[in-house]
Amino acid sequence: MSEDKLSHFSLISRLFGNLFYRTPQDPLLDGVFDWLKQQGLSALWPLELDEQTEKALQSLQLAVDRSLLAQEYRSLFVGEKAKADCRISAYGADPDAFIAFRRLRAMPEVESADHFGLLFLSASWLEDNTDSPAAQRELFETFLLPCAAPFLSAVEKGALLPFYRALALLSRQILAAMADELEEQEAIN
């Protein structure tokens, strides 16, 4: 991945983290959905486009009824009957260890660190605020990658609308690319 394309990782991580972390009707996402409708993600997507990726990008950027999407969000992520448990503890990650990881790097405090979306948001913060491949690697190896496979599989399986299935597929792709990049950096060092 080129340096220019890598610079988009932070923005994509922040985008995906917020889409998993916040209900679609959260006012903080108003501008995000407008940006998506304008094909903003396609304009900066750093990876090769195959047919499946192109379709996923289009699904994520369609004009969408946010109240309908909010129903899907609740069905997927909220409550005891959620189809895709957002809690990282459900996938074997220790929220207290994640809090300690965040504090060690002076990340902003959060009410609860037991949420998959916060992993993406933390990856974005590290990319923007540190020059530490070791911290990024630790986030990926200890928290993000172990939680991603089962969580994203549950999202893909449980989603009825194309939006969250597309978000899960694109999340897998960007995480795989960044994990490869971190391995390459480690091999160089």
The CATH number given to 3-188 is 1.10.3480.10
pLDDT digits (tens, 9 = 90+) for 35-88: 999 999 999 999 889 999 999 999 999 998 999 999 999 999 999 899 999 999
How far apart CA 47 and CA 65 sit, in angstroms, is 28
Q: Reduce the DSSP state of residue 39 to 3 states and report it.
A: coil
Show the CA angle centred on residue 141, arms to residues 121 and 134, nearest 5°. Answer: 80
Domain residue spans in the chain?
3-188
Q: With contact defined as beta carbons under 8 Å apart, do 168 and 143 qualify?
A: no
pTM to 2 decimals? Answer: 0.92
How far apart CA 80 and CA 15 sit, in angstroms, is 26
Residue among 58, 50, 47 at smallest CA distance from 8 = 47
pLDDT at 5 over 80: no
Exposed/middle/buried for 6, CB within 10 Å: 0-12, 13-18, 19+? middle
